[in-house]
Amino acid sequence: MPTTSHRMKAAIYRRPGLVEITEVDRPDGAGVLVEVDHCGICGTDLHMVLDGWGTPDAILGHEWSGRVVHAGDSDFAIGALVVGVPSAVCGTCDLCLNGRTSLCRNRPAPGSANERGAFAEFIELDKSRLVVVPDGVDGFAAAYTEPLAVALHAVSLSAIRDDQTALVFGAGPIGAAIVAVLVARGIAVSAVEPQPPRAALATALGATVRSLDELTVPTHPGEIARDAVDVVFESSGARAASEVGLTQVAGGGLLMLVGTGLDYPKLDTNRLILNEIRVTGAFNYDADGFRDALALIADGALPLDLLIEDDVVDLDGLLDAMQRLRAGALPGKVMVRP
């Protein structure tokens, strides 16, 4: 059993733009102790660190894989490769019982919990929040489970059919994952992405990349763009993307908001009414989202070599990688190896 005398290296969020790499006590509670293998940098992490959304003195990082070093009261094998579900759910409220676990009525406000995340050498979680990785999947690929589960949730919640069309705004890590999932299903996908590296990634994934200038934006709210699509996925969090994205939805179609941002859009409600367009958001995962994502990874159905950056950074390179991601210089998912 680990003791409080054991120390570990961790990245501690102190204030906007500042992450301190230091040593802290290793967890030694009653949960399952896992040695972190890889942890991805999420767009939410950028908001937490660069925009100041985070709770000071927190250890961030929730897209991770690792190996069990202490099983607690679980039946996990020592050395088992696992991934962790970031959000605890009650499992008993009406929303949980109806499969809407991401909306659990007893969840804390998103981002408010000061938990110890995986930008550290070790992490401890309750056994109910761990999922064993299938054979043949390594820790590098397994750490992609969480963002892929986010993308799968957005796609499943949209209820898009294989014979329909989609437009994805923003080809950052989540947008790229949505593109990859849609292409794997054979759905015709276009993407709007102003950053050349991310636009190149979207093209490599199989999307037709378009610029904002190429889009037909109707002047009348009742008019439908000539190349309108059934579902628009807005994953950038940019105000203009949501506002223009709405104009690209066909009658009876859907605007799915996935990206978060601080500059909130102004949506044309007349367009919504006249064309009976639905607008909704997608938060977190399907009830079985992690297992579905792991199955997709294990099947080799997605080009992970395109979706994940080859260069893995250590904790000392975390802040620089975040800044490069914010600038759009890194198109794929960046993995950290604590």
Q: Contact, 251 vs 226, CB < 8 A? A: no
Q: How far apart are CA 171 and CA 332, in angstroms?
A: 9
Q: Which domains does the chain carry?
A: 7-144+308-336 (3.90.180.10), 151-281 (3.40.50.720)
**Of residues 29 and 162, more confidently modeled:** 162
User: Which one-letter amino acid corresponds to residue 210?
Assistant: R
How far apart CA 74 and CA 99 sit, in angstroms, is: 25
Q: What is the dihedral of CA 296, 298, 303, 304, to 10 degrees?
A: 110
The tokens 């009742």 sit on which residue?
A: 222
pLDDT digits (tens, 9 = 90+) for 50-81: 999 889 999 999 999 999 999 999 999 999 99
305: CB partners within 8 A, 6+ apart: none
Question: Which of these, 61, 71, 107, lies nearest to 88 by C-alpha position?
Answer: 107
- Specify the pLDDT at position 218: 95
pLDDT digits (tens, 9 = 90+) for 275-320: 999 999 999 999 999 999 999 999 999 999 999 999 999 999 999 9
The per-residue pLDDT for range 8-28, each reduced to its tens digit, is 999 999 999 999 999 999 998
